[in-house]
Amino acid sequence: MKIHEYQGKVILSRYGVPIPKGYLAMTVGEAETAAERLLAETDSPVVVVKAQIHAGGRGKGGGVKVARGGSKDAREIAEKMLGMQLVTHQTGPEGQKVRRLYIEQGLDIERELYLGMVVDRDKRRVAMMASTEGGMDIEKVAADTPEKILTVHLDPLIGLAPFQARQLAYGLGLAKHGKETVGEFTRLALALSKAFRREDCSLCEINPLVVTKRGRVIALDAKLNYDDNADFRHCEWEGLRDIDEEDPVELEAKRAGLSYVSLDGNIGCLVNGAGLAMATMDIIQHYGGSPANFLDVGGSATEDAVAKAFEMILSSHKVKAIFVNIFGGIMKCDVIASGVISATKKTGLKVPLVVRLEGTNVELGRKLLADSGLAIESATSMKEGAQKAVAAASR
Summarised one tens digit per residue, pLDDT across range 138-163 is 888 888 888 999 999 999 999 999 99
The reply to whether 246 belongs to the active site is no
Burial of 227 (0-12, 13-18, 19+ CB in 10 A): middle
Q: Which residues contact 76 (CB under 8 A, 6 or more apart)?
A: none
Instruction: Give residue 159's Cα distance to chain centre.
Output: 24
Nearest-angstrom CA–CA distance, 235 and 233: 6
Confidence of residue 187 (pLDDT cuts 50, 70, 90): very high
Q: How confident is the model at residue 51 (pLDDT cuts 50, 70, 90)?
A: very high
State the pLDDT confidence band at 247, using cuts at 50, 70 and 90: low
Question: In this model, does residue 200 exceed pLDDT 90?
Answer: yes
Residue 325 has pLDDT above 80, yes or no: yes
Q: Distance of CA 290 to CAs 68, 78, 251, Å?
A: 47, 39, 23
Catalytic site includes residue 114? yes
Give the pLDDT band (50/70/90) at residue 272. confident
Q: Which of 114, 184, 199, 260 is catalytic?
A: 114
Pairing of strands 321-328, 353-359: parallel
pTM for this structure? Answer: 0.79
Closest CA to 20 of 106, 146, 82: 106
Cα–Cα distance between 280 and 117 in angstroms, integer?
31
- Give the single-character DSSP code of 258: -
Which tens digit of pLDDT belongs to each residue from 124-142? 999 999 999 988 778 888 8
Q: What are the start-end ranges of the E strands in 76-137?
A: 85-86, 96-97, 101-105, 109-120, 125-131
Q: Which of 32, 205, 358, 377 is catalytic?
A: 205
**What distance in Å separates the CA atoms of residue 204 and residue 247, rounded to the nearest whole number?**
22
